[in-house]
Amino acid sequence: MLSDGAEAAVVLTYEQEQQISSLLKSPEVFALAAAYVLVLNTQARTRDLGGWAEECENAFQTLFASRVPGIPAASDETAALIWRIIVENLKLILPTVDGLRRLSDDDIDSLLAGDTGFNQKKPAPLYVRRIVAIARDVARAKQIRELCVDISCGMQEATSELRLEHTQEHHRFSHDALYVSRTLSPARQGDPVEANHVLADPHPGTNLVIIGHPGAGKSTFVTRLAGQIAQREESDYAPVIVRCREFGSDADVDVTDQVALSIKRATGIDVTEDDLRDLLSVGRCFLIFDGVDELVDIQARRSLIGRIEMVAYRYPLTSIVCTTRKIGYESARFESPRFSVHELHEYTPDQVEEYATRWFKLMERPKTDRMAFVRESEDIQEIRRNPLMLSLLCTLYRVRGYIPMNRRDVYKDCADLLFYGWDALRHIPQPVDHRRYGHTLMEELADFFFKFPSTGAGVEEGQLTRLIGIYFQDTAGVQASEADQRAAEFLSFCANRAWLLTATGFNARGQRLFAFTHRTFMEFYAAEAVVRRARSEDDVLQTAAQVYRDNPSSVLPDLIVQAYENKTHRGAEMLLRRLIKDPSQGGKLSGSPPYPLCLRILNATPVGAPLVRDVLTSTFRAWAQLSDDVKKGAFISLLQLYKDPRLICIGMLTGSGEGHPQDTVGFRKVFVECWAALWLLGEADLFLDEWGRVADEIVEADNLVDCADSEVLQSYLTLTGHLDPQTGKSFYSQLVLACFGEMTPGLLLQAIQKLSVGQEEETDRAIIAIHGRRLATSPPKIHPIQEKRLSQVLANLVPRMADFTQAAIQVEGAFAVLMWLACFAAEEYPGDLHPFHEVARGILPDDLLLRILATRSKSLVDEGDMADDLEGVKPLNRRERRAVAESGPSWLQRWMNGRLGLTF
């Protein structure tokens, strides 16, 4: 059976079968077929290799006829059939068409010539040299194929079920029975789409960072993704999930070693370093790094990100998907332009209902229960849209028939249910220590996991046994002679019965490793431990603030406040008032108030309206002193306020509520400027319906169009139609904007990007025309600090561009703008090609743009020093320069001759 569904059969004698087998194992046949596949897969590039591919087929037919004599007249057909089978198998080993599109022309030439690079000025990259070696080695290619299939089959089994340890004893379900299709959207710009559309096929070299809130289902999402890849009929990709917590705090662990270890844990397959690097080189591995944020130490997290980016650089044909919490991402983010960031959205109301429908059907509960649950959970929409919280709510409602009203209560009730409820409901006896000390021990263990981040991969059974034994002796009065035995029994019960702390596997010494089933439960119990151990309000306050500063992605500070509120009457109010107080009067608390945390606390627990206004007023008053990353975190926390504090905030901003701040106009302008920055970053989509209207109302009421004095606000007002396009205070700000300290394309670059894909609007054309008229005669210069930023922003924008058509170039001003950008990029990459040049080559015919760049390069350096990218490109002669100058910007000839620069 062939890949197109055709069937074929050939009757052979035993001797002929042996002859064919010997032929197929011969190095020359394998190398010939591998070369054919590489040629076939590169024909999508701009090169004519069809004749060469035909020569490969003819060469095989000749070899077949000489090595397998005696086959009847149909030998040509037999040879063609066997050739086709060989080729189809090799297509499952060697790089795909999509993968080869990512290679440079030089690397393609190295592949086709079988040249490892020793005869070139610069050797081909290591992964290219590996592909060349694999294409010459039958055994090596066979090993890759078998390894890919084995890992794929193993991962298919490992990911076949959706595991919900927080639900009940039988917590494994078919993905199809419960999984709800998720929504992804680019973190910067773009409309939300179904995740299946983004990752429908494992395109080689697709590198994504998936960010989302705690409990948003990131791990479940990538586990299902790995399962879908593993279930592909061809078994042509080997998905691997690396749990980042397994790195611990060791910043020197080799990523590929950890990948091999993850394969061993998931499938039982031992992978050698060479085999894994071969698999990565040909792009047949799909790597998933789940939970980058679970490395609590920021420096260790940044180090891991850098090493993952290096894997993407060394193996550009391998696809990599990483998950991390959205909160705190800015403090340790992926900087490589190879990675695009997408956000995994929480559930929409329709998805909430779909999940509830699936859940109650799976639990064999009547439709009326599901309808009652959906209706009763309407009041906590902010909680139920989170997938983990929704799952917990369904579990609690099924067993207890009610819905807790805040996050801590959900965790507490679910923890009670998991730790005590399931066995009690089934009349299964529980150990005395479990009933008497269970929750306190969970708090002690969670506190240990929290204080020692290196425990993320799990803690040895022996270490936990000693820890529990010490607790039994020091707190419960248990004799030393039996403390360790009772501790071991407690852990054994957790491993076999409980669903909070569970055995996760074994280490190299054969010791069982234990970890919390979900990080959220660890944070809940750790928060309870902090409050239980605190000697004063100062202790609680200091810990919450410090945890937030160390790791903004943790929900532990929110849970600490909720736990303190549960223990102390109006405890949350007292902590909030202390947090927003002047630090010099704040007792042990040092440093500036963590305003994003203050706003998160407003979401965590109800407080009085006067305090809500005090928190908002203090935040706005201190705004100018906040750093860019704190501003962004605080503003997003403000937009995420739940209904009651959100209405108070809107009332303060629009004048429709009570207790207006004294500087209402100043606060309103700060809000709109922050909204503009978030909107320009493409991260405001989730808040458009309500907060977008507030921003528009302020713009109109305060006439901000006439007093917009920041480039960010002017750009926002221009793109939203409030302000006509203008030249702006600086040309650089039309190219690059700093929004919360992040560099993003300015109006002109955004307009050029939309022009390239045919999506420009009237405003974009006006922006291009205004700047094009200026750039045709007076090219501005860019300062050194700015030029690096502009070059990076331009390079990051290229993947969202298409080649410029003649229709696009005819737009007024477009040619002058594009020529300025191309020349600027050439100065940033002297003698080489900037990524922008790949999409800009078509603005002039016959590779004339490259000849212009080569002309400038030659005028500045000796011909022998010309860089590889322009080597062989013929510079323009004087007559050609004059002809180009007549049709281009007035400054172009001086620039080509090296007498004018666009950078200082």
State the residue range of the domain holding 409.
351-520
pLDDT for 586 equals 40
Same domain, 378 and 504: yes
- Bridge-based pairing of strands 207-212 and 172-174 is unpaired
pLDDT for 20 equals 75
Structure tokens at 788: 């690096």
Boundary residue ending a domain (345, 373, 398): 345
Same domain, 754 and 830: yes
Answer whether residue 583 is part of any domain. Answer: no
Boundary residue ending a domain (136, 155, 179): 136
Same domain, 286 and 219: yes
Answer whether residue 695 is part of any domain. Answer: no
Same domain, 160 and 241: yes
Same domain, 190 and 252: yes
- Specify the DSSP element, H or E, that contains 738: strand 736-739
Same domain, 406 and 488: yes
- Taking the C-alpha atoms of residue 60 and residue 90, their distance in angstroms, rounded to an integer, is 15
Same domain, 300 and 202: yes
Answer whether residue 866 is part of any domain. Answer: yes
Same domain, 408 and 516: yes
- Taking the C-alpha atoms of residue 32 and residue 138, their distance in angstroms, rounded to an integer, is 11
What CATH number should be reported for the domain holding residue 332?
Answer: 3.40.50.300
Boundary residue ending a domain (490, 505, 520): 520
- The list of the chain residues with pLDDT below 50 reads 1-2, 44, 46, 73-74, 116-121, 169-170, 426, 582-589, 863-866
Answer whether residue 887 is part of any domain. Answer: yes
Same domain, 384 and 431: yes
pLDDT for 838 equals 83
Same domain, 116 and 189: no
Answer whether residue 663 is part of any domain. Answer: no
pLDDT for 429 equals 63
Q: What angle do CA 520, 524, 525 make, to 5 degrees?
A: 120
pLDDT for 508 equals 76
Work out how many domains the chain is built from and give that number: 4
Answer whether residue 230 is part of any domain. Answer: yes
Question: Considering the entire predicted model, what is its pTM?
Answer: 0.66
- Taking the C-alpha atoms of residue 401 and residue 397, their distance in angstroms, rounded to an integer, is 4
Same domain, 159 and 287: yes
pLDDT for 118 equals 43
Q: Residue 504: what are its φ and ψ, rounded to 5°?
A: -110, -5
- Considering only CA atoms, which of 385, 318, 327 is closest in space to residue 356? 385
Answer whether residue 674 is part of any domain. Answer: no
Same domain, 822 and 841: yes
Buried b (16+ CB within 10 A) or exposed e, 443-453: bbbbbbbbeeb
675, HSE (Cβ side, Cα atoms, 13 Å): 26
pLDDT for 92 equals 81
- Considering only CA atoms, which of 459, 458, 477, 456 is closest in space to residue 467? 459
pLDDT for 831 equals 60
pLDDT for 862 equals 52
Q: Residue 882: what are its φ and ψ, rounded to 5°?
A: -65, -40
Answer whether residue 880 is part of any domain. Answer: yes
